[in-house]
Structure 1
Amino acid sequence: MKKLQITDLLPEERQVIEHHYGNQVHSLHSFSPKQLLYLRDITDDEKEFFSHRDSHHLTGALLQMLYKIKGKLIPTRFNRALNVISRHDEALRMNFCDVGNRILAVVFQERLEMPEVVYRNLENVQGEQLDDIFKSLMEADMRRSFDPQKGPIIRFSVYHTGEDEYAVVVTGIQAMLYNFDVRKIFCEALDLPYKPQLNAVSGLRSHMSDMEQSVITYWKKILAKLPPQPQLPHMEKLNNIHRQEAFLSYIPHNIFAQLREKAKGNKIMLMSILQTAWGLLLEHTNKCDDVAYCVVVPRYMGKDSENSAQSIVPMRLTIKGNPMIQTIVTKAFQQFVISQPYASLGREGLTNIIGQQKPFFDHFLNFHDFFLEGVSYSTVPAEAYGRLVVQNSWDTRDIKLGIGFRHEEDQLVMTFSYDNTLYSPVSIEKLFRQYILILQQMLADWSDNYSIFTERLAKHAISVEQTKKAEKKNTRGELQNYLFKLDLLQGCENGVVQRFVESSYMISYFEGDSLPEEMLKTKLVFLVEGKVARSMENSEGWYNALDIKKENCWLNELIFLDEKKARVSVEVLTEQAKFLLIPLSSVQAVMSRHPGFAMSILKFTARQLEKYQRLWVQS
């Protein structure tokens, strides 16, 4: 691709570039922290990983890889290697910018803000427990979005898992990772010669030209005369800056037990029940009896994760007559089994077959991780150059909603990835509850006719809504009640609590999530519900386990120290955890006016000191 300078762009394109990266014309002869080396049009390969939205809010598909490395991977050497490769490889100094009618790759002279790297010690964790930890940590990392236009578009998590053994999780924008081999960094850190490898990353693309004529013919027949595009439930118009956000939920254990009983160990049957429930929800929302939607599955089921390209399988749920619920699910099962051998569709191939400029399908049910047998990290041998153990993708481009299903031994996890201009956490929670309601009613009416199911569903929905209204809590009252329970506020005047009611708020995080470092620096964080693990950075850069905290605990007591000797991280251990946040500025203002509150903090700190002194002596 031809390298461009800012002066080669159209005036309107130059305006967009300078809005994001500053005045580039003057910086050609002077220093600028965001000085560009050059710009270029993105390649056809890169184009396939980006959104085609009519907006400047660029969205890119994410890719995540887990490597197992043999050697001595020291934090300081890894940081140095990252700096060295960043100076020599333009991929690490690259961003992507939508300038209107095209997307440009922008390459900086220097990357001042280096990619995030987290180091953690997991030497004492082994076997299945280690595999489970990686699943939750990687899932949480994939829920954190990137801005392709600003800042690093790749991040790393390095875990010490055994003697001369390390796991490295790499998450980034797929357009960059597709042409960049992260093994360059491993080799630099371990002082090994780099050997280029073909197909270091498995592509997740599908061109029309790649498909056999029989496949194209099949899908043209299936996708002919589609019903009207269904309206998604609980959608709203929100005045937010566009980005993809995520919400994690778990199918209740009692419902999951019934699902497994109906599926009889067959994953395709289990998927058929789950996707039929979604189809029935769409029909209920749109008051119709014919809807089309898509499921995403591995192209080759049962293969290891390294070669598990994704494929889209369109599904059609049509209710004719008054069939039993079991019959509806069985037809969905048969439909998928027939279509699965033709499962080689990607986004672009699907759009081309339908023949519409605007994509017909605006949401996907993703069963990719649900079907993968995968590879266990604990059983795979480590390699000096890094063994690729798991590869995941997260593609929410051009869609309003993506629902991912992940099947674990004792639970079924649903991840909602949504456009925050159309959904909020509250509306997603409503959507999840309605989906569970339909799933529950399907299982209860498994052998009954569709008309009986819809009648009972309507009655069940009314009953649930009435119960919900009766149990609804006042948020302000809940905040006030919790604040009164805090040890820090015991003995303080009522006015102190009221001051904090005005400025504090609650927020939820999910299993595997780490609390943002900025939050721990600027707000007092209290654990209201759930359980978390705290880790502290040691002198070598690794985070070692500090303690486990349960409900009603203050998590960042070191917030008042301007210069900290070590950093503390907080990670959620339970399915969900709720936190109370009080801005540090509010606390400092109250401390200056209420000496009693300042004394409470002093006493709390002294008790913590006494606690750790006793633990030190006992150890």
Structure 2
Amino acid sequence: MIYNPFYFLYKMGYAGMQPMVQPYSWAVPQQMMQPMPQQLCIPLQSYTVPAQPVPQTPSASAVSASSGASRTVPIKKAEKKKAKYNLKVSDFTANDLTEEILDAIVGKYGVEIDDIYNLAPGQEWMFSQARTVTSAFFTQALFKAVIKIKPSTLRQKVDEVCEKRDNLRTAFAYEGLPKPYQVVLKNRRADLKFFDISNVAVEDLDDTLKNLMSADRRRGFDLENDQLLRISIYKTCEEDTYAILISQPHINNDGASTGILLKELFLDYAMESEGIKTDELENVSFSKYAEWLEKLDRTEEFNYWKEQLADLPPLISAPGYVKSNMEFEISTKSLTFDKETNKKIRKMQGTYKATINNIMQTAWGVMLQKLYGVNDVIFGAITSGRNAEVQNSDMITGGMVNAVPVRIKSEQDITFAELTKQVQKQFAQSLQYSHCSPTEIADAIGRKGDIFDHLLNFHNFAGAGDFSKAPKLPGITLLGSESFDNLSTDLCVYFMMQTGSFVCNFTYNSNAFTDAKIDILMDCFRKVIVQIAENNTELRISEIECPDISVFREAEKTAEAQKQQICSFIAGLSVFNGVDAVAVKEIADYARVTSYVTDDIILTEKKVTDELSFVMNGYVELAREAMDGWTNSLMSLKPGKMITASGVLDDVKSYVSARAITDDVKVLSIPKEAMWKFIERYPCIALNIIKEQENIGKSYSFLWLSSDI
């Protein structure tokens, strides 16, 4: 289970607030802030407010320490030999530090080091999966608000919070070290930037913010060198409204931590700007958790897992999973149920005398057993990590989540109710022994490679992002929110109850799972859920019906045939003349095919598309709005013709619109970032695109004279 940051804010009370200067009204003023100064509003650029200068100690003169919003710069070897400092191994929490390791860490970050920790179990697992974090193991919180923002004052507030919360000053050192360490720096500050996107129309704002979130994830985090708190403030076209994006790697953050951060950074900032004194949250340092882990004797935990996972069969991959070495491309699909089934699902906890989380874990395990024709399966489950014996551990900010194995082993004559009780008991025990990373558990049982390849995660919250019932706060009006929370490299299924309805969100890497296979997986799970929702305590495992794995093999054949068709189509396009067959197959992996019927809009005029699109089937009409306001048809495109390349080679908006004029239209699209990978290898692609654009332009150049270009 993990926490949602916006639910944390929703539940947080403010009864203890007292006026600092004068009495206040809970009503939000109509005008809450002045427009951002013009010199700070630079389109397509960013303005970084410098951090407050930090006094340097004399001993730091030979070793450069990171400060402000700049990257940490390792010291030169010549300087390192001369560096003198008073730091001792015993000064730090990590109990296995040596003088040599400390020298190497000082060489990276300087002497301004607050503490050094060993990685927590969940951090070890995430680090083993991805040292440079992009979409996987990434958290984002985006919210729109009416709030009075003064960049220099906000910079000061961010500095104060970073000074208070040690995880916000953290780096993960590993190059040249025998193992990774979490290094808390004294002077590291957040990467805070301000952007002006007020030229984006209201109707385009949500799409723009979605693209900005995606671009920020692609930027990723270098765990050793980057600041691990990135805050982007976007001034929007809506009056007195900002969009605020907070990005962090999951190794250093979780949902509860983000909720605390939102409260301390923005809610407190807004109310203090109105002269309101707020209750300060207790600061429980991550070092308390790190110290507790150092003292924990995990011998008993390893013995538990050795017994629990004894005679574990070889790992069977998640149905439909094909491991991919390509960049993580996140996709999400939701499984929902009708009103009657939801009513039955709500009764299941009473019928089976178990939590909805344990019921769904059991159901998922039974589905895997049925698909593969086995009685012993395994997957991972997320734990919050906040069951540590540390006082007020829920006030710690940092990466505390972990993943534990869940093994479902059963006989066919057992009832679903009996199996659920076993799973509930087993999972409760495993939470007591959840302070070993999956990698350590694999080593303990002598297993090479991963124990599991997908995760289940129960979200124990409701109403996330819905601020309609939130208390009115002075200085800020929260308008809406969106979050991105990804813990799995390839597949994570999130269970949650939303306004009385049960929802399963399948978040997956679309380069490892095709949409068709996820649809099959969702359908199989739906069938199992519908059967157990009948609340029959006598229902036996042998009586539960579910397709076998052959349904995925049929999908694989279909997918392979479709890929061959896409490869043939790409190879025949003039844009890819000069590209070899191997590269064509790689391009096909990135391609997306979308179907349209007559009058469906494919492309809107005056938008940057960020993808290269071709008509694969059917006919498409290109049109252009003339100066007199009338939209004129320019030409019809047949299969094989390029629709547009606007935004691929540049940031130019499309000067045409496109719509389907037959019911059988299919459009093949290749993302901009993928195209540039191949353009770097085959510069001829860029020349071919330009040539194709010129050919299209010649076909309707006479109409440009009457168009507003």
TM-score with structure 2 length normalisation? 0.50
- Residues 1:347 and 1:403: Cα distance change in structure 2 (over 3 Å): farther
Which has the higher Rg, Structure 1 or Structure 2? Answer: 2
1:413 has 2:505 as partner? yes
Once the two structures are superposed, residues 214-234 of structure 1 have per-residue CA deviations (whole angstroms, 9 ceiling, x without a partner) of xx9x99999794244454433
Matched, 1:348 2:435: yes
Say which structure is richer in helix. 1
Q: Does 1:72 align with 2:148?
A: yes
2:380–2:452: 8 Å Cα contact kept in structure 1? no
Identity percentage of aligned residues: 13
1:248 corresponding residue in structure 2: 331
The one of 179, 182, 190 equivalent to 1:101 is: 179
Counterpart among 28, 50, 53 of residue 123 in structure 2? 50
The residue number in structure 2 matching 1:579 is 669
State the partner residue of 1:367: 457
> Alpha carbons of 1:185 and 1:462: their partners in 2 closer, same or farther (altered >3 Å)?
closer
Residue identity opposite 1:289 in structure 2: N
- Aligned CA distance change for structure 1 residues 591 and 272 (closer, same or farther; 3 Å): closer
Q: Distance in 1 between matches of 2:446 and 2:132?
A: 16
> Which residue is 1:170 aligned to?
246
Between the aligned partners of 2:705 and 2:502, the Cα distance in structure 1 is 40
**Residue in 1 aligned with 2:410?**
319
Q: CA RMSD in A?
A: 6.8
Q: Report if aligned partners of 1:403, 1:415 keep a CA contact under 8 Å in 2.
A: yes
* TM-aligned CA deviation for residue 311 of structure 1: 8.6
| Cα distance in 2 for residues equivalent to 1:86 and 1:338 | 45
Q: CA deviation at 1:78?
A: 4.4
For the residue of structure 1 that corresponds to 2:688, the secondary structure is helix
- Structural mapping, 1:486-497, within 5 Å: none
Secondary structure, aligned partner of 2:308: coil
1:303-452 mapped onto 2 (5 Å cutoff): 317-323=408-414, 327-328=415-416, 330-331=417-418, 333-334=420-421, 347-348=434-435, 357=444, 362=452, 365-369=455-459, 371-374=461-464, 376-380=466-470, 381-384=472-475, 394=485, 396=487, 402-405=492-495, 412-416=504-508, 425-426=511-512, 432=518, 435-436=521-522, 438-439=524-525, 442=528, 450-451=541-542
User: Aligned partners of 1:386, 1:156: CA distance in 2, in Å?
Assistant: 19
Number of aligned positions between the proteins = 513
8 A contact 1:67–1:390 mirrored in 2: yes
**Rounded Cα–Cα distance in structure 1 between residues aligned with 2:120 and 2:215:** 27
For residue 413 of structure 1, what is the amino acid of its counterpart? N
Distance (Å, rounded) in 2 between the aligned partners of 1:233 and 1:495: 43
Contact 2:139 2:247 survives alignment (8 Å): yes
Q: CA deviation at 1:3?
A: 12
Q: Equivalent residue of 2:248, what SS?
A: strand
Encode CA deviations 1:106-164: one digit per residue, 9 max, x unaligned: 86999998769695799968xxx99x999999899779853312434333354659654
Question: Which residues in structure 2 correspond to 1:125-524 (within 5 Å)?
Answer: 145-158=220-233, 160=236, 164-173=240-249, 192=273, 197-199=280-282, 225-228=307-310, 229=312, 231-234=314-317, 240=325, 245=328, 247-251=330-334, 260=342, 262-264=344-346, 271=357, 274-280=360-366, 282-283=368-369, 288-291=374-377, 293-296=379-382, 317-323=408-414, 327-328=415-416, 330-331=417-418, 333-334=420-421, 347-348=434-435, 357=444, 362=452, 365-369=455-459, 371-374=461-464, 376-380=466-470, 381-384=472-475, 394=485, 396=487, 402-405=492-495, 412-416=504-508, 425-426=511-512, 432=518, 435-436=521-522, 438-439=524-525, 442=528, 450-451=541-542, 453=544, 457-458=547-548, 461-462=549-550, 465-466=553-554, 469=557, 472-475=560-563, 477-478=565-566, 481=569, 498-499=577-578, 505-506=587-588, 507=590, 524=612
Residue identity opposite 1:473 in structure 2? A
Deviations 1:557-596 (A, max 9, x none): 25555xx69999xxxxxxxx9732555643442268x5x7
Q: Distance in 1 between matches of 2:378 and 2:239?
A: 52
Hey, what does 1:24 align to over in structure 2? 76
> Using the alignment, how far apart are the partners of 2:563 and 2:356 within structure 1?
38
Give 1:415 deviation, angstroms.
1.4
| Structure 2 counterpart of 1:280, one-letter code | V
Aligned partner of residue 473 in structure 1, secondary structure:
helix
Q: Which amino acid aligns with 1:319?
A: S
Match of 1:589 among 687, 690, 699: 687
Cα deviation digits, residues 507-532 of structure 1 (max 9, x gap): 3799xxxxxxxxx8997466989xxx
Q: CA deviation at 1:172?
A: 0.7
Q: Secondary structure at the match of 2:365?
A: helix
- Once the 2 structures are TM-superposed, how far is the Cα of residue 335 of structure 1 from its aligned partner? 5.3
The one-letter code of the counterpart of 1:71 is I
Tell me the distance in 1 between the aligned counterparts of 2:181 and 2:526: 45
Task: Work out the CA distance in 1 between the residues paired with 2:396 and 2:170.
Answer: 27
SS at structure 1 position matched to 2:124: coil
Aligned to 2:623: none
Match of 2:316, SS state, is: coil
Judge conservation of contact 2:494–2:506 (CA < 8 Å) in 1: yes
Checking the alignment, whether the CA contact within 8 Å between 1:114 and 1:152 is kept in structure 2 is no
Change (3 A) 1:346 1:252: same
Q: Identify if the C-alpha distance between structure 1 residues 406 and 138 changes in structure 2 by more than 3 Å, giving closer, same or farther.
A: farther
1:375-415 deviation line (CA, Å, top 9, x unaligned): 51344335548989989795749x98644345666963211
Report the residue type matching 2:183 in the other structure.
A
- State the Cα deviation string for residues 73-117 of structure 1 (Å, max 9, x = none): 4xxx64995599679968878632212234253869999987696
Change (3 A) 1:114 1:556: farther
The one-character-per-residue Cα deviations of 1:200-252 (angstroms, maximum 9, x if unpaired) are: 79989978979xxxxx9x999997942444544338997959x9x46434256
Question: Greater CA deviation, 369-378 or 601-610?
Answer: 601-610
1:600 aligns with 2:673: no
Cα distance in 2 for residues equivalent to 1:528 and 1:315? 45
Once residues 6 and 291 of structure 1 are traced to their aligned partners in structure 2, the CA distance between those partners, rounded to angstroms, is: 58
2-side partners of 1:141 and 1:335: how far apart? 43
**Given that residues 311 and 344 in structure 1 are in contact (C-alpha distance below 8 angstroms), is that contact kept between their aligned partners in structure 2?**
no
Cα contact 1:292–1:316 (8 A) shared by 2: yes
1:435-458 superposed Cα distances (whole Å, 9 cap, x missing partner): 44642553687687544657x734
TM-score, L = length of structure 1: 0.56
Aligned residue in 1 for 2:390:
none
1:138/1:54 Cα in 2 relative to 1: closer, same or farther (>3 Å)? closer
Which residue in the other structure is 1:557 paired with? 646
Aligned-partner Cα distance in 1 for 2:439–2:128: 22
- Asked whether the equivalents of residues 70 and 382 of structure 1 are also in contact (C-alpha less than 8 Å), the reply is no
Q: Is the 8 A contact 1:96 1:103 kept in 2?
A: yes
Take 1:353 and 1:220, find their aligned partners in 2: how far apart are those partners? 9
Matches of 2:241 and 2:252, distance apart in 1 = 27
**What code does the residue aligned with 2:410 have?**
I
Check whether the contact 1:146–1:173 (CA below 8 A) recurs between aligned residues: yes
Q: Is the 8 A contact 1:39 1:105 kept in 2?
A: no
Structure 1, 220-229 or 366-375: larger mean CA deviation: 220-229
8 Å CA contact 1:297–1:311 kept in 2: the answer is yes
Instruction: Tell me how far apart the structure 2 counterparts of residues 260 and 198 of structure 1 sit (CA, whole Å).
Output: 38
